[in-house]
């Protein structure tokens, strides 16, 4: 959990002993984050919580302005870095500066219901639960590709799952009314027991600046024996900011390279995991091609192929493949699912 960039403490919460720590890391999105903080200031119920902000490359004076505006609404700690730490690094740095037994993570561009903290905390009465996350609604997304083709192409599912090829799927347009056992939780609306995060040594900064922070930590916490739950009761609305967004071709290429690292962690213990990945990737190319046509980037599948090649070069070696990939496991070795949680209940395959 290295911190290559110095952090400046803007303010530190005086109160201690909050049950929930809400962490928001943000890079240059000072307008969006204020709306999210307004929602947290309007929380109802008796669950005590603190908010920890790690702001990066914010305009001069804005961190102080946010601290002054919201420090009377809830216990608030604000830290600032002049440069970006990356999502994984920023979340690790925030984790060490928080104190709640439950640690929740929100993106800076989501809107949160007024009972979010209270509802979240209620799930942790069950001791086998290591993480709880909510459905993420996308009110502004009306693309036919999203609503009709994603389920057909395996990019959307009824629950947060990891499939036979190591690809992760998300309930994009809807979530069942009943709670779901999850393989992973969405990074813009997730929470974990602190002890579960400490079990796996936090977020894996080997992925680079961003991406797979959520699916990777969820997989490792689940393999440590904890149960993950997703629910509509914690639904948030996500309004993706255009600030700091890569172009779609660059994003697709970088995402595929990172995916190989995750796929090796997810199914690398199985025979012929590369063939599984390549077979699943071939199917994925269909959706990438359709997305490229719809968005005006016909070369998008070629960028995905380049990313896959790069990922296989970086992460696809046979010898020592399970070394250096898993923070928190003995001798760096990857552990496969044993099919049960801490109470001996079946885990989804």
When divided into structural domains, the chain yields a total of 2
Residues 97 and 42 in one domain: yes
Q: Which two tokens stand for residue 325?
A: 């990939």
Q: Quick check: is 145 in a domain?
A: no
Q: Quick check: is 30 in a domain?
A: yes
Q: Quick check: is 127 in a domain?
A: yes
Q: What is the residue-level pLDDT of the chain in tens, covering all 349 positions?
A: 555 568 999 999 987 789 999 999 999 888 889 999 999 999 999 999 999 999 999 999 999 999 999 999 999 999 999 999 999 999 999 999 999 999 999 999 999 999 999 999 999 999 999 999 999 988 866 555 555 555 555 556 678 999 999 999 887 667 888 999 999 999 999 999 999 999 999 999 999 888 899 999 999 999 999 999 999 999 999 988 887 778 899 999 999 999 999 999 999 999 999 999 999 999 899 888 988 888 899 999 999 999 999 999 999 875 433 443 444 333 333 444 444 444 444 343 3
Residues 190 and 262 in one domain: no
In this predicted structure, what is the pLDDT of residue 148?
A: 57
Largest separation between any pair of C-alpha atoms in the chain: 56
Q: Quick check: is 122 in a domain?
A: yes
Q: What Å distances lie between residue 292 and 78, 208, 252, 282, 299, CA to CA?
A: 40, 25, 10, 15, 7
CB 169 within 8 A of CB 163: yes
Residues 76 and 181 in one domain: yes
Q: Quick check: is 341 in a domain?
A: no
Q: What are the DSSP E strand ranges found in 141-272? A: 161-162, 168-169, 180-181, 189-193, 227-238
Q: Which of 215, 238, 261 is the last residue of a domain?
A: 238
In this predicted structure, what is the pLDDT of residue 134?
A: 93
Residues 222 and 328 in one domain: no
Q: Quick check: is 282 in a domain?
A: yes
In this predicted structure, what is the pLDDT of residue 121?
A: 97
Q: Quick check: is 179 in a domain?
A: yes
In this predicted structure, what is the pLDDT of residue 8?
A: 95
Q: Quick check: is 154 in a domain?
A: no
Residues 126 and 16 in one domain: yes
CATH number of the domain enclosing 59: 3.90.550.10
Residues 34 and 86 in one domain: yes
Q: Which two tokens stand for residue 222?
A: 């689940």
Residue 180 and residue 184: Cα distance in Å, rounded?
Answer: 11
Q: Which of 238, 261, 291 is the last residue of a domain?
A: 238
Rounded to the nearest 10 degrees, the angle between the axes of helix 213-223 and helix 248-267 is: 10
Residues 91 and 34 in one domain: yes
Q: What Å distances lie between residue 212 and 215, 229, 260, 266, CA to CA?
A: 5, 18, 11, 12
Residues 190 and 267 in one domain: no
Helix H, strand E, coil C: the string for 251-290 is: HHHHHHHHHHHHHHHHHCCCCCHHHHHHHHHHHHHHHHHH
The residue range of the domain holding 262 is 248-332
């Amino acid at each position: 959990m290295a911190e290559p960039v110095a952090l400046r403490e803007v303010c530190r919460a005086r109160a201690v002993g909050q049950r929930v720590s809400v962490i928001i890391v943000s890079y240059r999105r000072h307008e969006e984050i204020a709306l999210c903080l307004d929602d947290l200031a309007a929380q109802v119920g008796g669950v005590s919580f603190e908010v920890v902000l790690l702001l990066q490359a914010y305009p001069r004076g804005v961190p102080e302005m946010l601290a002054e505006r919201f420090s009377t609404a809830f216990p608030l700690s604000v830290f600032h870095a002049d440069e970006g730490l990356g999502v994984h690094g920023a979340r690790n740095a925030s984790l060490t500066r928080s104190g709640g037994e439950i640690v929740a993570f929100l993106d800076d561009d989501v809107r949160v219901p007024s009972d979010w903290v209270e509802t979240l905390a209620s799930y942790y009465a069950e001791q086998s639960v290591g993480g709880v996350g909510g459905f993420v609604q996308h009110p502004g997304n009306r693309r036919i590709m999203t609503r009709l083709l994603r389920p057909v192409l395996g990019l959307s599912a009824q629950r947060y799952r990891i499939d036979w090829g190591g690809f992760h799927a998300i309930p994009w347009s809807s979530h069942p009314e009943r709670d779901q056992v999850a393989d992973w939780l969405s990074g813009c609306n997730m929470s974990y027991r602190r002890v579960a995060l400490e079990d796996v040594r936090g977020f894996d900064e080997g992925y680079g600046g961003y991406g797979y922070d959520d699916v990777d930590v969820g997989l490792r916490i689940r393999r440590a024996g904890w149960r993950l739950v997703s629910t509509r009761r914690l639904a948030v609305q996500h309004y993706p900011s255009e600030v700091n967004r890569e172009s779609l071709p660059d994003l697709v290429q970088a995402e595929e390279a990172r995916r190989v690292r995750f796929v090796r962690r997810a199914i690398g213990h199985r025979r012929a995991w590369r063939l599984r990945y390549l077979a699943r990737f071939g199917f994925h190319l269909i959706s990438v091609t359709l997305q490229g046509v719809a968005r005006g980037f016909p070369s998008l599948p070629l960028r995905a192929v380049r990313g896959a090649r790069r990922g296989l070069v970086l992460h696809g070696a046979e010898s020592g493949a399970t070394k250096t990939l898993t923070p928190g496991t003995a001798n760096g070795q990857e552990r496969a699912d044993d099919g049960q949680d801490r109470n001996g209940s079946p885990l989804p395959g």
